Structure 1
Amino acid sequence: MKFVSTKGEAEPVSFAQAALRGLAPDGGLYIPGAWPSFPGSFWDSIKTKSLQEISYAMARPFIDELSDNALHNIINDAINFEAPLVQLDEKRYVLELFHGPTLAFKDFGARFMARAFAALREQSEQDLVIIAATSGDTGSAVAQGFLGVEGIKVCLLYPAGKVSHIQEQQLTTAGQNVTALEVDGTFDDCQRMVKQAFSDSSLNEQLLLSSANSINIARLVPQMFYYGYALAQLRGNSAPILCVPSGNFGNLTAGLMAAKLGMPAAGFIAATNANDIVPEYLETGSFNPRDSKQTISNAMDVGRPSNFERMHYLFNGNHHKMEKTIWGTSFSDDETRAALKKVYEKTDYVMDPHTAVAHLAVEEYRETANGYFGEQKDTPFVMLSTAHPAKFGDVIEPVIGEEVEIPERLAVCLEKNKKSVALENDYSVLKKWLLDNYKGAL
């Protein structure tokens, strides 16, 4: 399997090269150059398969460098937790993706990447410097996924004052080979500086850099796994409508990739907060990235979603084709709070703000766009729940009037002292810091 750049000006590369580089030399994002089609018999039999079995089957065609045994070991070690599908009512389900070590869906990608990188690094015998931007959960998942991995240094950029307290504690208290850089700016600023680092030839001559953001294809491959597992847990045989709360759009892109493999899906709903760049594109055909707005669903506070470039590529730049597959909408903080309260009062189910946005999107679709995807009466809606509600207790508790229980593995980080490095919103400052601290990492 070869991976190509979305910009089309770089040579095709292997999975290992794409993963370890992160960004293509022409500034594009790597995407599979071909799409193996899984037979209908695979999807028909998926209900008999475990999450790990589904994960291996979906990963195998994309990764040539690892033996069957090595890939099995990576998956079994990385994805050693469940992703249960919880039924809310006759047609609505919540796919809980927050049962990993850091209680966020990013654990799937980060843990898989860490183990894959360690295996690939053994072959190259070169150390890596991982740099990643985070709007919340990516940082903690990457920190824990790569914590203590020999020969790998991790540098996390996050926007000061724009992540929840628990998220900040998670990503700033890891220690060991993980450093948190607290940037005076937004997530988009952090992401811009990370991309500048990969495009800086002089820096790359001195450091071996890779990324753990969803710009890295190694993050998206494992995010396909739970889409298949959702199908395995669904009752009936109708292809679902999948609703994805979205910021940088890596999660939704992974779903589109799974669909390219033949995964049955009636359609996708792109649910966003006030940062509605992609829903706006779906409606108008005009892509207008802009400065992000701060909201209570902070992981979606992205004004320049990187993975739109992959989405655009997958649909050959055809707006009409994309809008036939993806329906988008956005909601305010007040609407999100109201949804949190309504769902809790009606079902006793506690959602985090991102899942509440997905719930609102499903409600709006059913009220205003029912039949858009040509679905049947029994078509189920699956909402992806990306983070444990305990991470957003300061938002949720005043709304539902109840205390959100904090799992022990999350409570532990609250007792630790925050350690971060304050950084100006300036790439030259980041470059100097990287060279001062990591130049000897090769």
Structure 2
Amino acid sequence: MKFYSTNNKSHKVSLKEAVIKGLAPDQGLYMPERIPRLSADFIDQLPELTFQEIGYEVIGALYGEDLSSEDIKELVDHTLAFDAPLVEVEDGVYTLELFHGPTLAFKDFGARFCSKLMSLLVSDEKVRVLVATSGDTGSAVANGFYKVPNVEVIILYPSGKVSTLQEKQFTTLGENITALEVDGVFDDCQQMVKQAFLDKDLNEKMLLTSANSINIARWIPQCLYYFYAYSRLPKGDRKVVFSVPSGNFGNIAAGMLAERMGLPIDNFVAATNVNKIVPDFLKGVPFRPRPSLQTISNSMDVGNPSNFYRLLDLYGEESTLKERVKGYFFDDATTREAMAEVKAATGYVMDPHGAVAYLGLKAFMEEQPDITGVFLETAHPGKFGDVVEAVHQEKVELPDRLAAFLNGKKKTELMGNDYGEFKAYLLSKK
């Protein structure tokens, strides 16, 4: 299958080039030239299939022209090595827990898929993976690519704007993982990475790629857990709605991909913090990137979401997108209130990002009450212990593999938010 740029559908490349380049030369995001439609029989059989069996079918439909069945099985087994349980929080309200992987965040799925796929596609040439992170991407990619031969990972993150535990997960590994602590915000980091991919002089000297959700190898596999969540819902006639905590909008775009492939999702809720560029757009305001604002749900502190153009591309027209996706935003005080209220009523502990998704789902249900709703819990509450413990006035127990990171020694290099400085740094590593 070929992959085209969202900025120019006539620009098409192979799977290998799309994965290795990450971003098209015209700054567009790569998309599959066609979205396969899975059979109604497969959808009906979902409740009887394992997570892995679902993955073989879905990934086979998307990558079967480029990879062998053995490669697809290896990819899926490596990616889906842990569960994503569906938990009923309230009557008709479920959460999909995506934090049971190595770094306890949803991005473990995409990062593991991406690292395995790159190892299948790249030979002995050294690859440098550039990653901008507002929190969880850095830890997932660092751990997914840790000690992978012929791959060097360089992570840019905004100084002082990620949680201590998130920072420790990608700054303490060493080996082939380097962390650059940037004096700026996430959008500065993302812009520097994008400029590097488009710098002809730099790309002639080294092989650069991305493991952010702009890369199809990170983005596409996230559709798998939507199929899995749907398969574990009770059978019924009510409409199914997914509410997704959204920052760079790759996660919700993956859900839309699943819907386009035949999964019967009736609506999506794009739930954000006060960085509400897309909710504003869905209500009729022109899409206008702006500087990001810092919040307690820091992984969503994005003022220029890259995957917005995938949303448009998946539905073709703004009117269809606005019909299928509803946007809501919530401030920190409202998020904290929801965390406290849900724990008091049900005993369930949400992280700040999941709480935003919960609020978005409940807002949608006020308008359309006769639905089954799923909100995505994208990170373990312990990753945001300071916030969660302050809300509940009690300590959050960390899983052993998470607590172990706290004992590691932070190793970073400080950098300004100037692209020239970043380019000079990359050239020094040639």
TM over 0.5: yes
Q: Could you say which residue in structure 2 is the equivalent of 1:395?
A: 387
1-structure distance, mates of 2:261, 2:283? 27
Query: Any idea what SS the aligned residue of 2:90 has?
Result: coil
> Do structure 1's residue 384 and structure 2's residue 370 form an aligned pair?
no
Shift of 1:204: 0.4
Shift of 1:366: 1.9
Q: Which runs of 5+ in 1 are unaligned?
A: 372-376
1-structure distance, mates of 2:188, 2:139? 19
The question of whether the paired residues in 1 share the 8 Å contact of 2:188 and 2:417 is answered with: yes
RMSD: 1.1
Cα shift readout 1:95-134 (whole Å, capped 9, x = no counterpart):
0000000000000000010011011113xx3221000100
Matches within 5 A, 1:318-397: 318-367=317-366, 369-370=367-368, 377=370, 379-397=371-389
Identity, % of aligned positions: 49
Q: Could you say which residue in structure 2 is the equivalent of 1:7?
A: 7
Q: Could you say which residue in structure 1 is the equivalent of 2:287?
A: 287
The question of whether the paired residues in 2 share the 8 Å contact of 1:15 and 1:62 is answered with: no
Q: Could you say which residue in structure 2 is the equivalent of 1:89?
A: 90
Q: Could you say which residue in structure 2 is the equivalent of 1:100?
A: 101
Matches within 5 A, 1:47-58: 47-58=47-58
Query: Any idea what SS the aligned residue of 1:394 has?
Result: helix
Cα shift readout 1:59-107 (whole Å, capped 9, x = no counterpart):
1122233210111012112320000000012210000000000000000
Shift of 1:337: 0.5
The question of whether the paired residues in 1 share the 8 Å contact of 2:35 and 2:62 is answered with: no
The question of whether the paired residues in 2 share the 8 Å contact of 1:52 and 1:76 is answered with: yes
Query: Any idea what SS the aligned residue of 2:244 has?
Result: strand
Q: Could you say which residue in structure 1 is the equivalent of 2:303?
A: 303
The question of whether the paired residues in 2 share the 8 Å contact of 1:279 and 1:327 is answered with: yes
The question of whether the paired residues in 2 share the 8 Å contact of 1:243 and 1:362 is answered with: yes
Q: Could you say which residue in structure 2 is the equivalent of 1:29?
A: 29
Matches within 5 A, 1:260-279: 260-279=260-279
More displaced, 355-364 or 184-193?
Answer: 355-364
> Once superposed, which parts of structure 1, at least 4 consecutive aligned residues long, lie more than 4 Å away?
none
Cα shift readout 1:263-296 (whole Å, capped 9, x = no counterpart):
1101000000000000000001410110000000
1-structure distance, mates of 2:309, 2:416? 28
1-structure distance, mates of 2:55, 2:46? 11
Cα shift readout 1:200-229 (whole Å, capped 9, x = no counterpart):
000000010100001101111110000000
Q: Could you say which residue in structure 2 is the equivalent of 1:221?
A: 220
2-structure distance, mates of 1:115, 1:9? 28
Query: Any idea what SS the aligned residue of 1:156 has?
Result: strand
Amino acid at match of 2:199: D
1-structure distance, mates of 2:230, 2:61? 20
Query: Any idea what SS the aligned residue of 2:95 has?
Result: strand
Cα shift readout 1:376-412 (whole Å, capped 9, x = no counterpart):
x3x2100011000000110011111211101100111
1-structure distance, mates of 2:327, 2:38? 28
TM-score (normalised: structure 2): 0.98
Shift of 1:10: 5.7
Q: Could you say which residue in structure 1 is the equivalent of 2:211?
A: 212
Shift of 1:422: 0.4
Query: Any idea what SS the aligned residue of 2:356 has?
Result: helix
Q: Could you say which residue in structure 2 is the equivalent of 1:195?
A: 194
1-structure distance, mates of 2:198, 2:79? 30
TM-score (normalised: structure 1): 0.95
> Do structure 1's residue 140 and structure 2's residue 139 form an aligned pair?
yes
1-structure distance, mates of 2:126, 2:132? 20
Amino acid at match of 1:301: D
Shift of 1:11: 2.6
Query: Any idea what SS the aligned residue of 2:283 has?
Result: helix
The question of whether the paired residues in 1 share the 8 Å contact of 2:249 and 2:307 is answered with: yes
Query: Any idea what SS the aligned residue of 1:170 has?
Result: helix
Q: Could you say which residue in structure 2 is the equivalent of 1:374?
A: none
Query: Of 378, 399, 408, which residue of structure 2 is paired with 1:416?
Result: 408
1-structure distance, mates of 2:390, 2:310? 39
1-structure distance, mates of 2:79, 2:360? 31
Q: Could you say which residue in structure 1 is the equivalent of 2:118?
A: 117
